[in-house]
Amino acid sequence: MAPFFDWGAKDSPKGTPVVVKMENPNFSIVEIDGPDAAFKPVEKSRGKNAKQVRWVLLLKANQAVGCVAWLVSILWAVLGTIKRRLIFRQGVDVASEKLGKGKLMFKIIKAFLVISLLILAFEVLACLKGWHYFENPDLYIPHASDIQGLFHLVYVSWLEFRAEYIAPFVQSLSVFCVVLFLIQSLDRMFLCLGCLYIKFKKIKPTINGDPFKSDDLEGSLDNYPMVLVQIPMCNEREVYELSISAVCQLDWPKERLLIQVLDDSDDENIQQLIKAEVSKWRQQGISIIYRHRSIRTGYKAGNLKSAMSCDYVKDYEFVAIFDADFQPSADFLKQTVPHFKDNPELGLVQARWAFVNKDENLLTRLQNINLCFHFEIEQQVNGVFFNFFGFNGTAGVWRIKALEESGGWLERTTVEDMDIAVRAHLSGWKFIYLNDVKVLCEVPESFEAYRKQQHRWHSGPMQLFRLCLPSVITSKVPSVLAYIFMNSFEMKISSVINIKLFADINMEESKLNISLLFVEKTDPSFLLFHIILHNSSFNHVYT
């Protein structure tokens, strides 16, 4: 075989191969492709000096202090929440004592909750002992020979009492709640169908011609009726400036417009701030008045009633009401007031709310869904087909004559807007809802503010229902409109009672197990679960 250095030669020499042996070579062989371990770097140990140790200790101490501060902040927040709730509870108790009502109801609710917790603990303990008597469709009550002890005897006696006396009542109540759910489902279904019809037919209130057009330039102001704008507020430090500024920029002749800032604030600093804001706009030629009541009675209804008692109010034909957190557009009056022209039976024009903070958090998004259903479907359908809906308390224009003939603002309930709407419609006045006219406002961003708002909105309808029911029955309003009144209050009732019916829902195979406080039963899930989904899904239509 030829040597390796002759492999590339063209002519290989011929001859006998010779083996050469080398002794004591003066070179070494290095393995190029050897294992990596031969070239593994040697790590040199390096000790930490005192400065580095000090920095490490400082970092650890900083982390520990931050953790402690975080725990303290959480504890402080919890204590603050407890303090606010105790203050709110004391305020509720004081208000209840002043009104002379509600104290007994609070005691009843507390007693009911305590009894419910005791019964729940009793049932849990019985379940842990293995006394599962509700697994079978028929209630099985052990005989005297099967009693295992005193506690077992008490539990069996409790079962007999429930089955004999409490179960029939709860069953009847459950059936009543299911009927209310069915009525509510049908109501919402018809509302959605009505809204689809309105969208398909493109039905909406319109203004005939240009009500402000006039050939006589000197007498053109006669086409603008006298309008009074009221802004009721109470301790509104954050939003008073925005609302007053928006109202003062309304596109309406200054000679035909008067703005009342109705301040019920008990903080003198806030009073001075609002007075300064009013003075600033008065210096710019705006007709604006600041009013403050020394005796705050009747809350918002009392504030509006006091403002309407002024002598100069008789010179005005319409009144627009905006809460302190509402910002109407400049053309609001030009979009609403013309609907009253040539329509003497019209008493109210209501605009829609638009929320500037609807995407702030999950709570604001849920409120936006709920209120969009209210405005887009409930208010619009009732306004188009029945000329009646509940006044929202703000962002609306009233004919002052309609307010006076309906009895004005009354302090008998906390829902003065619903009260005046019912009385005005019973007096024969009609309403118009403008879904395209939107007024900017805010929804509560915190749960505490939301809870207080809902307490104000829902504490009065039941009382108002009791006060208005005789008037609805004896009035000359057609039966269909009477149903609307009944239905609007029935929705409030069903929202409360249905909590009792579906207190605990457990999906188990193909059945819905409804565990009530006093009785357990197993019903087919398809009907009841359909009702729940039916009511929930309609809230998301058009939102």
pLDDT score recorded for residue 297: 85
Catalytic residue selected from 263, 264, 323, 325: 264
Q: For 486-533, how does the pLDDT look when each residue is reduced to its tens digit (9 = 90+)?
A: 555 555 555 544 444 444 333 333 333 333 333 444 444 444 444 444
- Strand ranges (E), 174-317: 227-233, 257-263, 288-292
Backbone angles phi, psi at 438, to 5 degrees: -115, 140
The ranges assigned to domains in the chain are 225-487
Catalytic residue selected from 187, 263, 417, 419: 417
Q: Above 80 in pLDDT, residue 329?
A: yes
pTM to 2 decimal places = 0.66
> Which of the pair, 287 or 102, is modelled with greater confidence?
287
pLDDT score recorded for residue 471: 79
Pairing of strands 511-515, 396-399: unpaired
Q: Above 90 in pLDDT, residue 70?
A: no
Q: Above 50 in pLDDT, residue 330?
A: yes
pLDDT score recorded for residue 312: 92
Active-site annotation holds for 325: no
Q: For 18-38, how does the pLDDT look when each residue is reduced to its tens digit (9 = 90+)?
A: 555 555 555 555 455 545 544
* Separation of alpha carbons 388 and 422, rounded Å: 9
Count CB neighbours of 510 within 10 A.
8
Work out the average pLDDT over 250-262. 94
Name the least confident of 40-54, 233-247, 364-378, 414-428: 40-54
Q: Above 90 in pLDDT, residue 197?
A: yes
pLDDT score recorded for residue 99: 46
* Separation of alpha carbons 326 and 445, rounded Å: 16
* Separation of alpha carbons 63 and 48, rounded Å: 21
Active-site annotation holds for 146: no
Q: Above 60 in pLDDT, residue 537?
A: no
The encoded tokens of residue 301 equal 């209804």
Cβ atoms 505, 514 nearer than 8 A: yes
Work out the average pLDDT over 406-412. 90
Cβ neighbours of residue 248 under 8 Å, at least 6 residues apart?
Answer: 259, 281, 284, 286, 288
Tokens 């492999």, residue located: 7
**Nearest-5° Cα angle at 433, 430 to 436:** 155
> Which of the pair, 51 or 241, is modelled with greater confidence?
241
Burial of residue 471, with CB atoms counted within 10 A of its CB: 0-12 exposed, 13-18 middle, 19 or more buried: middle
Q: What percent of the chain has pLDDT over 70?
A: 69
Question: Given this structure, which CATH class describes domain 225-487?
Answer: alpha beta
Work out the average pLDDT over 297-301. 87
Q: Above 90 in pLDDT, residue 58?
A: no
pLDDT score recorded for residue 487: 55
Q: What percent of the chain has pLDDT over 90?
A: 32
